[in-house]
Chain A
C-alpha cells in the first residue's frame, strides 16, 4: 500500500498540460476512416456489375439457382431470347430467331457473349415486388429475372443476316447517327445459339480463319482500304481549312516516290482531279500525294487520336482496338500506304460506323447503345438509356464538306449503284488489299442516308470479295431499301 501511494506521488510530478497531439491524431484517423468508408461505398456500388460478371465470382450460381434468367426483346418487343422450363424441370435458353441474332444477342452457356454478357447482371437478378416473390415461393417456383429491351430491329437484322450469303464472311453494322442506337449488327459466319452446347466443341477445333464465335462487327480488325480516305481527307481539311478547294492533281494511274509505287485500283488513270473528284473516284495516287505532301505528321496523328484510333471506344460489347499511327521511322512509301488505308492500319467495322455516324450527325458522335430499357418481370422500369452525346469528332463545317464529298461518291463515283433511289445516300467504298497479291481484297462500304437529314448509318464489310463498289454497295443498298421501303 505504502509503495503504491509513493509511486502515485512521483507521477504527480510528471503531470502535463492537455496536449494538442491527441486532438490532431484523432482528427487524422477520423479523416482516414471517412475517406475509407466513402471509398468502400463508392467502389462497391460502381463496380457491382463488373464484379458480378467476373468468372471467378461464384455468386452468379446463387442467383441463377434463385431466379429464372430474364428475357431479351427487340425494339418492338419481339422475344430474342427467353428461358423455358421443360417437362423434366430443366431450363433451356431459347433463341426464336436462331442464327440471325447470333453474335449480337450472344449466348449464356459456355461463358457468355453479346447482350447476354453485357446485361447479365440484370438478367440474373429479379426485382419483382416482395409480395410477388412470396407468391412464387409458395408455388415453389423461381423468381422471374429482369427483362432487357434492346434497340435492335428484327426486320433490319434479318435483311442484314441474309445479305451476306454463306460461305462469305463479313460484318454489317446499322445504327441511327442521331441517337446512337444500334439497329442491327451481323457477323458472318454465324452460329445457332440454340444448339451452342452441342456445337461448342466444333467451334473450338475449327480453323482460326473461320472464327465463328468472333463478333467481327466489333472484334474483327480489317485494313480499312479506301474508306480510310475519310480520315485522310479530314486531316487534309484540318491542314488546309480555307484553300482545300484549290487542291489539284493529275492522276497517271500510279505515283512513285523512290522505290515505292502506289497504283490506282486496276491501274485506272483518273486524269485531272480536285479533292472531291479524288475522293469520289477513290484515286489512290491522289491520296498518296495528299498524305505525303499536304499533311503534317502531327496533324495526322491528332486526327487519328480524335477519331479514337489506338484507343478505347465507348461501347459495352467486347471489341478490338483499331490501330493507326504515323511514326517517325516510317519511310515515304509507308506514309503513302497509310494515306490510302493500307499497311499497318486496321479498323473494326463498328469503329468505322461510329466515324461515319459522326459525319452524319454534324460532327458529334452519339454514344452507341444496344440496350434501351431494363424492366422487372412485373413491368417496373429499372434502367432506361437515352441518347447521349459522346464527343465532337470534327467541326460542323468539316462534317458538311465530308458529307458533300460522300454524296459525290454516290452521284459520280464508286458507289453509283446507290444512285437514283428515293433517298439520297452518302458514303465511301473501299477495297482493302489484305495480302501482297493484288487480286484479293475485302469489300467495304460505309455511309448514311438521307444525306441532308441522316436517319440510318450502314457499314458493310465482306471478306475477300473484291471491290467495295461491286460487292459491298449492293448489300448496303438492300439495307437502305429495307429501311426506306
Chain B
C-alpha cells in the first residue's frame, strides 16, 4: 500500500506541476486579467494538489504525524496570501503571485525533507515577507517620486555592500554577511533592489554617452566591491543587469556587445588574479577528477541530479544530504533527485514563464522608468536562476548563488518576494496607463470597455 502511494504520488506531482506551468505560459497569450479567471482557478487547484500529494508521500515514507500540523499551517497561510492578494489587488498580474507561491511551496517541502528546523525558519520568513510585501505594490504605485532619487540609491547601495566588505564575517570563504542584533543579513541581496532603483532612475532619461559613462562608473564600483568580497555570483548578476538595462534604455545592441566583450576581458584578468576563481574553473572542467578537493561539491551535485531519473526517487528516497550546502546552493539537485528530472525541468520553466511575464509587462509599458524597473527585476531574477541551476549542473562554472524563492535563506527569500511585489506595483501602473489612454483618446475597446471605465473612475477618485 505504502509503495503504491509513494509511486503514484510521484507521477501525480509531476502531472499537476505540468498543468500548473502550462497555464503560466497560456496566460501570456491572454493579456487581460478578466480572461484568465478559469486559468487561475486551475492553477490554484494544481498548486494545492502538489502540496497535498507531497505531504501524502512524506507521511507514507516517514509516518511522522507532527508534519501534519506544519503542512496544514502552510496551506492556511498560502491560501490566505493568495485570497488576500486577489482581493486587494484585483488588477495585478496574478500569474506572478501564483508562480511565487508555487516555488515557495516546492522550496519549503524540499527543505522540510532536508531539515525540519530550517523549513520552519524558512516558513516564518516567507510569512513575514508577504506581510511586508502586501504594502509594496501600493507604495510603488503611489511613490512615483522614487525616480528622482537615483543617486541617493547609488550611495545607499555602495554603503551597504561597502560596510560588509570592511566589517562583514566570512562564510564559506566569501565576505557576504553582516550581523545586527543577532540577525544575520546578506546586504548584497537587499542591494539588488536598491541597485535596480538606481539604474532605472538614472537610465530612463539619459541619452548621451557621457551620462551613460557616469552610470557605468557607479555600477562598476558596485561590482568591484562584490568581487573583492569574493561574492562572484552577485558581482556577475549586477553586471549583467546593468548591461541589459543599458541595452533596453538605449535600444542599441552595440552597448550589449561592447559590455559582454569587456566582461569577458575582465573575467580573464580576474581568473589570473584570484585563486578562488581558478579553483572554481578547475572544478568545473573536471569535477570527478578533482573530487577529493575542489570538485567535491559539484560532483556530489551531479550524482544527485543523475540518480533520480525521470520521475525521481520520491521524497526521502534519495540522499540529497550528501551534497554540501544542498539547501542553499544545490536545492535544484535535491529536487532533481527526489522529484525527478521531469519535475525539475518543469519547475525551471515556471521561472522562465515568470521572466517572460515580466518582460512582457516591460514591453507594453509606456513609462520608461517602470519599463526599466520591470525588465530589471525580470533579468535579475532569471539570471540568478541561470547561475544557480547552470552552476549546479556543470553547464557553467559554479558561483554559489541561491535559487530565488526555492533555496533556503532568509535574505534571499525576502528580497525576491519584495521584488515580485514591486513588479506587481508596476502592473498597477501599467493598468493606470491603459486607463489613461482610454480616457484621453476615448478609444473603444469592445468588451474591455467597462473594465477601463471602472479603472478610470478609481483613479479619478484617488487623485
Once the chains are docked, how many angstroms separate the CA of A12 from the CA of B367? 7
The one of A23, A41, A48 in contact with B307, judged by C-beta atoms closer than 8 angstroms, is A48
- Say if the beta carbon of B158 comes within 8 Å of chain A: no
Q: Distance (Å) between the CB of B405 and the closest chain A CB? A: 16
Most buried by B among A5, A29, A58: A29
Question: Which residues of A (1-49) have their CB < 8 Å from a CB of B?
Answer: 1, 3-5, 7-8, 11-12, 14-16, 18-26, 29-30, 32-33, 35-37, 39-41, 43-45, 47-48
Once bound together, how far apart are the Cα atoms of A372 and B274, in whole Å? Answer: 51
**Docked pose: A137 CA to B3 CA in angstroms:** 8
* Chain B residue at minimum C-beta to C-beta distance from A133: B3
Are B144 and A36 neighbours in the complex by a CB distance under 8 Å?
no
How many Å lie between the Cα of A21 and that of B363 in the bound state? Answer: 9
Instruction: Say which residue of B145, B307, B336, B371 sits within 8 Å of A59 (CB atoms).
Output: B307
Secondary structure class of chain B's binding surface, majority of residues = helix
A22-B4 in contact (CB<8A): no
Q: How far is the CA of A144 from the CA of B247 in the complex (A)?
A: 60
Across the interface, do A11 and B369 meet the contact criterion of CB distance under 8 Å? yes
How many angstroms between the C-alpha atoms of A26 and B322 in the bound complex?
36
Please determine whether B288 and A54 come into contact, CB atoms closer than 8 angstroms. yes
* Residues on B with beta carbons closer than 8 Å to the beta carbon of A92: none
Do the beta carbons of A11 and B147 come within 8 Å of each other? yes
In Å, the complex CA distance between A18 and B367 comes to: 10
Judge whether A52 is part of the interface by a CB distance below 8 angstroms: yes
B303, A36: Cβ atoms closer than 8 Å: no
Cβ of A29 and Cβ of B355 under 8 Å apart? Answer: yes
Taking the closest CB of chain B, its distance from the CB of A166, in whole angstroms, is 38
Binds A, one of B261-269, B388-396, B442-450: B388-396
CB distance from B236 to the nearest CB of A (A): 14
- Digit string of A122-139 for contact with B (CB within 8 Å is 1, else 0)? 000000001001100100
Question: In the assembly, what is the distance between CA of A271 and CA of B57, in Å?
Answer: 84
Partner of A20, one of B251, B348, B368, B386: B251
What residue of chain B has the Cβ atom nearest to residue A61's Cβ?
B319
Q: Which residues of A contact B256 (CB under 8 A)?
A: 21
Q: Mark B139-155, 1 if CB is under 8 A from A, else 0.
A: 00011110110000000
Min C-beta distance of A7 to chain B, whole Å: 5
Tell whether, in the assembled complex, residue B306 and residue A48 are in contact, meaning their CB atoms are under 8 Å apart: yes
Q: Check: B362 CB closer than 8 A to any chain A CB.
A: yes
User: A11 near B367 (CB under 8 angstroms)?
Assistant: yes
What is the interface size of chain A, counting residues whose CB is below 8 A from a CB of the partner?
Answer: 48
- Alpha-carbon separation in the docked complex, A75 to B375 (Å): 64
Verify B296–A56 contact, CB threshold 8 A. yes
Per-residue interface assignment for chain A, residues 210 to 252, with 1 indicating a CB less than 8 Å from any chain B CB and 0 otherwise: 0000000000000000000000000000000000000000000
Does A57 lie at the interface of the complex (its beta carbon under 8 Å from any beta carbon of B)? yes
Q: Determine how close the nearest CB of chain B comes to the CB of A195; give it in whole angstroms.
A: 31
Knowing A39-B395, A41-B341, A41-B345 are in contact, say whether A3-B145 is a contact too (CB < 8 A).
yes
Do A44 and B336 touch across chains, with their CB atoms under 8 A apart?
yes
Q: Which residues of B contact A26 (CB under 8 A)?
A: 355-356, 359
Residue from A4, A40, A43, A133 having most chain B Cβ neighbours under 10 A: A40
Is A438 among interface residues, defined by CB-CB distance under 8 A? no
Known contacts A11-B368, A43-B394; is A18 also within 8 Å of B363 by CB?
Answer: yes
Tell me if A51 counts as interface (CB < 8 A to partner B): yes
Name B302's closest neighbour in chain A (CB-CB).
Answer: A51
- Complex interface bits, A57-75 against B, C-beta within 8 A gives 1, otherwise 0: 1110110000000000000
A14 and B201 CA atoms in complex are apart in Å by: 12
Q: Which residues, 321 to 364 on B, are CB-close (under 8 Å) to A? A: 322, 336, 341, 344-345, 348, 352, 355-356, 359, 362-364
A-B interface, 6 closest residue pairs, ranked by CB to CB distance from nearest: A44-B306, A19-B251, A57-B303, A26-B359, A40-B393, A15-B366
Q: A18-B364, A40-B389, A44-B306 are in contact. List 4 more A-B contacts (CB 8 A).
A: A21-B250, A25-B248, A47-B306, A62-B319
Question: B interface vs A, CB < 8 Å?
Answer: 1-4, 7, 142-145, 147-148, 204-205, 244, 247-248, 250-251, 253, 256, 288, 291, 296, 299-300, 302-303, 305-307, 309, 317-319, 322, 336, 341, 344-345, 348, 352, 355-356, 359, 362-364, 366-369, 371, 375, 379, 382-383, 386, 389-390, 393-395, 463
Can you report 6 residue pairs joining A to B where beta carbons are below 8 Å apart?
A: A3-B145, A40-B341, A45-B306, A57-B307, A58-B319, A134-B3
A interface with B by C-beta (< 8 Å):
1, 3-5, 7-8, 11-12, 14-16, 18-26, 29-30, 32-33, 35-37, 39-41, 43-45, 47-48, 51-52, 54, 56-59, 61-62, 130, 133-134, 137
